[in-house]
Amino acid sequence: MYKLLISDDDNEIRELLEFDLAQSGYETDTAKDGEEALKKALTNTYDLILLDVMMPKMNGFDVCKNIRKSKPDVPILMLTAKGTINDKTQGFDMGADDYIVKPFDIQEVLLRVRALVRRSPAGKVMNNTSGEILKAGDIEIFPDSLEAKVKNNSIKLTPTEFEILYCLMQHFNEAVPLAVLLNEVWGYNSDDDVRMLRVHVGGLRQKIEHNPKMPDYLQTVNNVGYKLNPFGSENE
């Protein structure tokens, strides 16, 4: 059974999420403010953390940033009324894997939770990806540790960055459409989430590219999506 942490200062929302997630077979824990959420996240083991942004004592962005420092492999879903592009970008920059704007449809939350728990260590074991290693050209990836090596330099990835790279590695040297990436990484395809994908690709480039503004490995294919050249463009 997957264990989730639900952090929201709104009692009604927190209880609604707790009930519906429990009905769907998840074990749940809760926090009423940012400090409590951070303490529980760092002390306990969760397969997914749901974070509100506007919370007392510590906002969700700061909680997310601090969790990422010591637990980079736990998926984080942000639930918030702050739904502008800038708000979403800030959340992703802090390390969030997905973002839902209030008021939300509980079925959409359940859909995104199912997609995200696949990326937790427990999810990888249950989906038989634990221990698998992919290698092509300069790039090698390790699902167990959410790590990659580029020219033997180790890089720690967030769960979403790893899923994007994993997908592209399976189709290396092929142009992968945005819709395919969204489906394979998040489990659904929405035009509204293309921006989310691009932000995560930007974060991935910061880690694997020598010059993220002129990428050798993770290349944009205009009007299609992205292509991974694991040998680097300089070797073409």
pLDDT digits (tens, 9 = 90+) for 101-120: 888 888 888 888 888 887 66
Burial of 183 (0-12, 13-18, 19+ CB in 10 A): middle
pLDDT at 6: 96
Mean pLDDT confidence for 69-96: 81
Q: How confident is the model at residue 125 (pLDDT cuts 50, 70, 90)?
A: very low
pLDDT at 120: 67
Q: What angle do CA 234, 209, 67 make, to 5 degrees?
A: 165
Q: How far is CA 3 from the centre of its chain?
A: 17
Outline where the chain has alpha helix (H).
11-23, 34-43, 60-70, 85-93, 106-117, 121-126, 159-170, 178-186, 194-208
Mean pLDDT confidence for 51-58: 93
d(Cα 171, Cα 176) in Å, to the nearest integer? 7
- For residue 13, is pLDDT > 50? yes
pLDDT at 121: 60
Angle between helix axes 60-70 and 34-43 (nearest 10 degrees) is 10
What Å distances lie between residue 43 and 57, 70, 122, 141, 143, CA to CA?
18, 11, 18, 28, 23
Mean pLDDT confidence for 58-75: 90
Q: How confident is the model at residue 174 (pLDDT cuts 50, 70, 90)?
A: very high
pLDDT digits (tens, 9 = 90+) for 137-168: 899 988 777 788 999 899 888 888 888 998 89
φ, ψ of residue 118 in degrees (nearest 5): -60, -25
Q: How many CB atoms lie within 10 A of CB 121?
A: 17
Mean pLDDT confidence for 181-196: 74
What Å distances lie between residue 198 and 29, 88, 133, 195, 205, CA to CA?
32, 12, 25, 5, 10
Q: How confident is the model at residue 11 (pLDDT cuts 50, 70, 90)?
A: very high
Nearest to 5 by CA among 59, 72, 67, 58: 67
Q: How many CB atoms lie within 10 A of CB 16?
A: 15
- For residue 126, is pLDDT > 60? no
